[in-house]
């Protein structure tokens, strides 16, 4: 697959060939969904909890006398039907962690990249370089590349000027290419891929190692 490479002003400067094993892989929607659910579950803390009847702090004395009031019989105020009483059901602390083999995770990433490439959501640029953190300059550059759409900016390595500039924008997010994940890939309208980040993608998600 041949794709154009743009400069930071949005002008095409060259054309490159993308590796078919990464950007023309079989698109497996079920596998991508499975990996997405896994990632969202693994991000959950699992610390939610309600107090059961034996955990609420209420008096243990009988509420009112057993007979003669015309009311129903009740033994204590911590019963579940009363305000301030214990909850009969509800979440308890537990782990939501799920696991998936590395080959399946890599296949899901290749499937997502292939779907983005097919739909024209990948924007390749020769480099992202800034002499100093400038939010306005970054906003203008993203407008040249993706217009008003939201963008995920991939980085091949640490680039503090670009990172700080992107962090101030509401419709953009930066991510190191080595931490590529299914959630971020599918969240944004466009994915900006500098050639340095493309090299990292080839190294990690290529099939050279049989993954």
Indicate whether 210 belongs to any domain.
Answer: no
Residue 211 counted as domain residue: no
- Cα 163 from Cα 155, distance rounded (Å): 9
Strand 12-17 relative to strand 2-6: parallel, antiparallel, unpaired? antiparallel
**pLDDT per position as a tens digit, 13-65:** 999 999 999 999 999 999 999 999 999 999 999 999 999 988 898 888 888 89
Percentage of the chain exceeding pLDDT 90 = 73
pLDDT band of 111, cuts 50, 70, 90: very high
Same domain, 148 and 185: yes
The reported pTM is 0.82
Residues 22 and 111 reside in one and the same domain:
yes
Instruction: Please tell me the distance from the alpha carbon of residue 31 to that of residue 33, in angstroms, as a whole number.
Output: 5
The whole-number pLDDT of residue 126 equals 92
Q: Are residues 66 and 153 located together in one domain of the fold?
A: no
Which secondary-structure segment (H or E) carries 201?
A: helix 195-205
pLDDT, residue 158, reads 87
Classify residue 113 by burial, with Cβ atoms within 10 Å: 0-12, 13-18, 19+. buried
Summarised one tens digit per residue, pLDDT across range 4-14 is 999 888 899 99
Examine residue 83 and state whether it is found in any structural domain, yes or no.
yes
């Amino acid at each position: 697959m041949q794709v154009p490479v743009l400069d930071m002003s949005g002008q095409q400067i060259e054309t490159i060939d993308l590796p078919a094993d990464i950007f023309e892989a079989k698109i497996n929607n079920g596998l991508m969904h499975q990996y997405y659910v896994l990632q969202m579950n693994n991000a959950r803390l699992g610390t939610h909890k309600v107090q059961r009847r034996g955990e609420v702090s209420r008096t243990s004395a009988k509420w009112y006398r057993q007979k003669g009031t015309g009311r129903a019989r009740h033994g204590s105020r911590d019963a579940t039907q009363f305000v301030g009483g214990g909850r009969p059901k509800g979440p308890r602390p537990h782990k939501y962690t799920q696991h998936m083999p590395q080959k399946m995770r890599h296949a899901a990433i290749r499937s997502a990249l292939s779907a983005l490439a097919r739909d024209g959501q990948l924007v390749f640029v020769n480099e992202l370089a800034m002499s100093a953190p400038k939010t306005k300059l970054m906003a203008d550059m993203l407008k040249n590349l993706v217009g008003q759409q939201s963008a995920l900016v991939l980085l091949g390595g640490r680039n503090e000027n670009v990172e700080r500039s992107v962090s101030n924008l509401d419709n953009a997010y930066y991510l190191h290419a080595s931490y590529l994940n299914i959630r971020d890939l599918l969240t944004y309208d466009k994915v900006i891929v500098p050639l340095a980040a493309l090299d990292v993608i080839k190294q990690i998600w290529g099939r050279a190692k049989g993954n």
